[in-house]
Structure 1
Amino acid sequence: MGRSKTDHFTEQQNQIALIAKALGHPARVAIIDHLLKVNACIGNAILEEIPLAQPTISQHLKVLRDANLIKGTIDGNAICYCINETTFELLNSYFQNITTHVIHQNCC
């Protein structure tokens, strides 16, 4: 069996692409914005904030978890979600690197 196309790229390139894809839906961006405001919350609080059905919210949370943008801890019968700082530090470093190169580059 042949190599997958992602094998041609670095681990960081694949990780940034996964993060970008996860952030590619406004509902997921809204969930991240909500978690930034409240620091951490139970999944049901997200349902009150985002006007989507519970199964849809659950699917978006799964995508965000799979991209390591959020993490969750079990709190009784519910899951308490919060931002995964490590992933956002990676994202911040990536965009700072881009910004530094763009500012110091003369382009057509």
Structure 2
Amino acid sequence: MDIADSFARYWYFHLPNFVLAALMYTMLGRFLLGLFVDADSPNYIWRFFCRLTDPVLTAIATVTPKAVPPAIVWLFGFVWMFWLRIVLHYTLLVLNLAPRLAGGGS
């Protein structure tokens, strides 16, 4: 099975996994960039990171205590996205719907 066939066959795994990974690493990038850039910076990369992650961080902030600084909420977002990817993969493995390695191992 080649890569294109794998993607077409398991799109329900690859697409959500890609979106969660992109959000996860964008939140990590936002945290790291936030160490150097002001919160209201006009930097276009910073604005992109904020625009992409703000909806997810709003949801995460509702379950996070208000006393937590925003940078820690960004790290919580990274961890939540990581665990959502693990749950997605595990669920699809249990349901026997996840992609598996081709060929038998010994």
Category of TM-score, reference length = shorter chain: 0.3 to 0.5
Structure whose residues are more often strand by fraction: 1
TM-score, normalization by structure 2: 0.37
Higher relative CO (Cα under 8 Å, sequence separation at least 6) belongs to 2
Structure whose residues are more often helix by fraction: 2
TM-score, normalization by structure 1: 0.37
